[in-house]
Amino acid sequence: MKISQMRSTIVTVPFTRPEVWARGARPCVTNVIVELETDDGLVGLGECGVSASATVQSLSRYVIGADPFDLLERLKQRLRWSRVPMAFCAVEMAVLDLQGKALGLPLYRLLGGAVRRKVPFMYYLLRDKPEVMAREAAAAVKAGFSTIYIKVGIEIDEDIEVIQAVREAIGPRPKFRIDPNESWTVGTAVRLLRRLQDYDLELVEDPVSREDLAGWRRLRACTSVPIAAQENAHTLTDMFRVIKEDAADIILVDPFRNGGLSAMKHAAAMVEAAGLPVYVHSEAALGIATAALTHTLATIPNNLLANQTYYQFLGGDVVKERMDSFENGCLTPSERPGLGVTLDMERVSRFHEVYVRGEVVDGAYRREDMRQEASEDEAYYPRF
C-alpha cells in the first residue's frame, strides 16, 4: 500500500457567536483539511490551522509514494518536525487514520489502548452580559457538563461580576476555571485571586506573561488556586523548563503545538513523570481533529481534567458524524477504523466557498457583532 494522492482544502466555519478574549476577538475558525489517498482506495483525514497551509502543501513530495506504515519517523527527521509542528500534525493525523483503516482498528488501539472510555470536555462559556452567561452556565451543568470555562482579563470589575453570577448559577459542585490570557501582572493576579477565593476556582490558565517564569513561581507561592501553563509550554523544551522552574501545577498539551498526536503523548508522559496532570488546549478543532483528540486523550493516563473544545459555538462541521454528542460532558472514541469520521463533501465545499469569498475573516471582527467590546489597541499592556 502506497500513498498516491494528497489533497488539501481550506475551509472557514463561522462561530454562532464571536469569541471575545483579553486581546481581541474572532468570529470563525479557518482550517486546512488534508486527505491522503492510497493506491487501494483508502483515504486518511487530517486537519490543522490555516497558517500551516503552504507547509502542508509542500509536504506532498515526501508523502506521495510512501508506505503509511513506514513514513512518520523518517518524515520527522527530514522536516525537523518541531519547526513545523502544525503541518506535521495534520499529515500524521491522516497517516494514522490510514493505518487504522488498513488494519480495521480504531486509532486509540494503535496508540496503546484506552485507559478511559469517556473523555471529559469543559463547557466554553462565551462572554456576554453576566445574567446571560449565568443562564447558559446553568443550562450547561443541567446538560451534564461538570466544568465551566470563561475568558477574563477584559475589565476587572466586570470579570468579578461575571464570576460571581456564574458561580451562583451553577452552585458549588461544578468546577469553574478562568483564563486571563496573560493579561495580569503578578501583583494583580495575587490580589484578584485572593478576592476570588470564595468562588472555589478549579484553576487559572495563563494568568501572567509567559516569559516571566519567576513571576509564575511567585504567584504559585501566594495563592491556593492551581496555575495551568499553556502559552509557555508549546514544546517539550518549554514544558521541561516550566517543570524545572516549578512554575505551574498543570500543563496543557496541544498536538498542533507539540508536533502531532504522538508528540502530545510524549509531552503528557514527561508531565506525568513530574507528577502533574494535563488537559488539551484547542485551536478550534473541527470534527476531524476532535475525533483525533478524543482517541488520543483516551490513552493518556494523566489527562485528569476536562479538555477544551469549541464545539458549543461552531456553526457547522466538515464530517458526517455528529461530534457534539456529549454525554455528561464527555465524548467516547469511535470504534470504527481509524478516526471513525468521514468527510461531508457538500459541507467541505460550502465552507471552502465561505473562505474563498472572505465572508468572515479569522482574527477580524465587526464591533457591532460583539456582545462585549475588545480592545483595538495594537500595543498590548497588562492590566493593573
What pLDDT, on a 0 to 100 scale, did the predictor assign at position 322? 86
CA 47/CA 10 separation, integer angstroms: 10
Q: Structure pTM?
A: 0.93
pLDDT of residue 369: 43
Cβ-contact 195, 219 below 8 angstroms: no
Query: One digit per residue, pLDDT tens: the chain, 384 residues?
Result: 999 999 999 999 999 988 988 878 889 999 999 999 999 999 999 999 999 999 999 999 999 999 999 999 999 988 887 789 999 999 999 999 999 999 999 999 999 999 999 999 999 999 999 999 999 999 999 999 999 999 999 889 999 999 999 999 999 999 999 999 999 999 999 999 999 999 999 999 999 999 999 999 999 999 999 999 999 999 999 999 999 999 999 999 999 999 999 999 999 999 999 999 999 999 899 999 999 999 999 999 999 999 999 999 999 999 999 888 899 999 999 999 999 999 999 999 999 999 999 877 665 444 344 333 333 333 333 333
Q: Residue 25's pLDDT is what?
A: 84
> Which pLDDT score, from 0 to 100, does residue 102 have?
98
Pairing mode of beta strands 278-280, 250-253: parallel
The domains found in the chain, sorted by start residue, are: 3-105+346-369 (3.30.390.10), 109-339 (3.20.20.120)
Q: State the SS3 of the chain.
A: CCEEEEEEEEEEEEEEEEEEECCEEEEEEEEEEEEEEECCCCEEEEEEEHHHHHHHHHCHHHHCCCCCCCCHHHHHHHHCHHHCHHHHHHHHHHHHHHHHHHHCCEHHHHCCCCCCCCEEECEECCCCCHHHHHHHHHHHHHCCCCEEEEECCCCHHHHHHHHHHHHHHHCCCCEEEEECCCCECHHHHHHHHHHCHHHCCCEEECCCCCCCHHHHHHHHHHCCCCEEECCCCCCHHHHHHHHHCCCCCEEEECHHHHCCHHHHHHHHHHHHHCCCCEEECCCCCCHHHHHHHHHHHCCCCCCCCCECCCHHHECCCCECCCCCCCECCEECCCCCCECCCCECHHHHHHHHHHHHHCCCCCCCCCHHHCCCCCCCCCCCCCEC
The alpha carbon of 208 is separated from its chain's Cα centroid by a whole number of angstroms, namely 20
pLDDT of residue 381: 30
Q: Given this model, what pLDDT does residue 318 score?
A: 97
User: Is the distance from CB of 327 to CB of 142 less than 8 angstroms?
Assistant: no
**pLDDT at res. 366:** 44
- The pLDDT, as a whole number, for residue 367 is 37
User: What pLDDT, on the 0 to 100 scale, is given for residue 21?
Assistant: 85
Closest CA relative to residue 303, chosen from 328, 336, 267, 339 = 267
Closest by Cα among 322, 264, 258 to 293: 264
Sheet with 43-49, strands from edge to edge, namely: 3-21, 24-38, 43-49
